[in-house]
Amino acid sequence: MLNILVTGGAGYIGSHTSLRLLEAGHNIVVLDNLYSGHRWAVSEEVAFYEGDIQDKQLVADIIDKHEIEAVVHFAGHIVVPESVADPAKYYQNNVVGSLDLIETCIQKDVKHFIFSSSAAVYGIPSTATVDETVTLEPINPYGKSKLMTEWTLQDLGFAAGDDFEFVALRYFNVAGAHSSGTLGQATPEATHLIKVACEAACGKRNGMSIFGTDYDTPDGTCIRDYIHVEDLAEAHLDALDYLFEGGKSTIVNCGYGRGFSVKDVVKTVKEVSGSDFSVTMESRRAGDPPQLIADNSKIKKMFNWQSRFDDLETICRSAYEWEKSRG
Ligand code: UFG
């Protein structure tokens, strides 16, 4: 059993991972400023601090009080178009906030750190699938903020020598909800495809749009690697095991290694929901790469990560059931 601090543990991916860490027998503490997270998403049994990762004194006190041995860092802003409109918000919270947190961890002798990075660091890749070694050319401040934090971890980790090791997980398109029905994506004004389609299926919005039907893909719409949030949560446990078994700092993709088009997703949500919501074809959305699929050989080999929900219907059904249950 480890004492683990989870930042952003009240958010979408953070809450699913926190639950999985609890199930695995770990002792967790959540720090979340509730900017986009929800207190109800964290079990009442868990020590919860409403606060910010930039509050170094608070973080240091939590580390001391709970004898923290590892930090799993989710807290951050995640809306790509917002990052274009307000980059300072992203650099302040995602980059400066992460720097503050990493520095505090190193000062307080926390040796193990897991970071939520993103496939957004790749920008518009030139290969069909991307492995971790391709050139990184993020095309928006969100992706840049994630890459800057990877660099921060590498440089501060290097300076700290054997006293600090991290895993950065580059998430692809995370979707779905917990099989218990207790957790799911509750972000207001979501822009993510599966969430938007499920809201349309539940009548929470008047239909939806498909952005771009003239891409050089089989059906003309963009292709993404959708990964179920529970499989992603498991990857965090695997990463912790890896570090606590003496693994060195590393960066890995988290995706299934296969892609579905926007039209595939819309069709699947219509099938699982039985709702024929209206869909409008629109022009391309700025900054969308035609295709983004993980090469996941590294995570499978290094962590022996195994997926359990690699099925588009399962992902869409869980997201739909969750959306419906929220009224
Ligand atoms: N899309 C639509 N209609 C919508 C919403 C999305 O057609 O209403 C399309 C988009 O244009 C895109 C695809 O669905 O082609 C997927 O879009 P999402 O917004 O769901 O996801 P993105 O691929 O843009 O980005 C997501 C996360 C990023 C992360 C990236 C990594 O938002 O944080 O996946 O793959 F970096």
Give the tokens for residue 267: 């069709």
Could you give the percent of the chain with pLDDT greater than 90? 93
119: Cβ below 6 Å to ligand 1? Answer: yes
Q: How far apart are CA 243 and CA 179, in angstroms?
A: 28
Q: Are 62 and 197 in the same domain?
A: no
Residue whose Cα lies nearest atom 24 of ligand 1: it is 288
For residue 137, name the pLDDT band (cuts at 50, 70, 90): very high
Q: Are 44 and 125 in the same domain?
A: yes
Quick one: which of 9, 1, 16 has its CA closest to 183? Answer: 16
Q: Are 158 and 191 in the same domain?
A: no
Give me the pLDDT at residue 79, please: 87
Residue whose Cα lies nearest atom 7 of ligand 1: it is 210
**For the residues 127-156, what does the mean pLDDT come to?**
96
Domain limits for position 250: 3-174+226-254
Q: Are 100 and 117 in the same domain?
A: yes
CATH of the domain at 271: 3.90.25.10
Q: Are 214 and 126 in the same domain?
A: no
- Among 36, 147, 173, residue to substitute to test ligand 1 (most atoms within 8 Å of Cβ): 173
Q: Are 67 and 146 in the same domain?
A: yes
Model pLDDT for residues 288-327, shown as the tens digit of each residue: 889 999 999 999 999 999 999 999 999 999 999 999 998 7
280: Cβ below 6 Å to ligand 1? Answer: no
Q: How far apart are CA 261 and CA 278, in angstroms?
A: 18
Q: Which of 21-30, 49-58, 72-81, 95-104 has the lowest mean pLDDT?
A: 72-81
Local structure of residue 286 (DSSP, 8 states): T
- Among 262, 268, 315, residue to substitute to test ligand 1 (most atoms within 8 Å of Cβ): 262
* End position of a domain, from candidates 207, 239, 254: 254
Give the tokens for residue 72: 């799993």
Quick one: which of 169, 173, 119, 117 has its CA closest to 316? Answer: 173
Give me the pLDDT at residue 187, please: 83
Could you give the percent of the chain with pLDDT greater than 70? 100
Q: Are 181 and 106 in the same domain?
A: no
Q: Are 170 and 210 in the same domain?
A: no
For residue 81, name the pLDDT band (cuts at 50, 70, 90): confident
For residue 188, name the pLDDT band (cuts at 50, 70, 90): confident
Q: Are 205 and 299 in the same domain?
A: yes
Q: Are 147 and 296 in the same domain?
A: no
Give me the pLDDT at residue 189, please: 80
Q: Are 140 and 265 in the same domain?
A: no
- Among 83, 116, 129, 192, residue to substitute to test ligand 1 (most atoms within 8 Å of Cβ): 192
Give me the pLDDT at residue 48, please: 98
How many domains is the chain built from?
2
**For the residues 270-298, what does the mean pLDDT come to?**
95
Q: How far is the CA of 325 from the centre of ligand 1 (A)?
A: 24
260: Cβ below 6 Å to ligand 1? Answer: no
Q: How many CB atoms lie within 10 A of CB 149?
A: 26
Q: Which long-range contacts (CB under 8 A, 24 or more apart) does 186-195 make?
A: 186/12, 186/38, 186/41, 186/326, 187/11, 187/12, 187/36, 188/36, 191/79, 191/80, 191/81, 193/224, 193/262, 193/265, 194/226, 194/265, 194/269, 194/315, 194/316, 194/319, 195/319, 195/323
Catalytic residue among 90, 142, 242, 320: 142
Is 90 an annotated catalytic residue?
A: no
Q: How far apart are CA 204 and CA 58, in angstroms?
A: 39
CB contact at 8 A, 190 and 200: no
Q: How far is the CA of 287 from the centre of ligand 1 (A)?
A: 10
pTM of model > 0.85 = yes
For residue 128, name the pLDDT band (cuts at 50, 70, 90): confident
CATH of the domain at 86: 3.40.50.720
Beta-bridge partner residues of 261: 223
211: Cβ below 6 Å to ligand 1? Answer: yes
**For the residues 209-232, what does the mean pLDDT come to?**
97
Q: How far apart are CA 113 and CA 102, in angstroms?
A: 8
Residue whose Cα lies nearest atom 3 of ligand 1: it is 210
Q: How far is the CA of 172 from the centre of ligand 1 (A)?
A: 10
121: Cβ below 6 Å to ligand 1? Answer: no
- Atom of ligand 1 at shortest range from CA of 121: 36
Q: Are 293 and 319 in the same domain?
A: yes
Mean pLDDT, the chain, whole residue set: 96
Alpha-carbon Rg for the chain, nearest whole angstrom, is 19
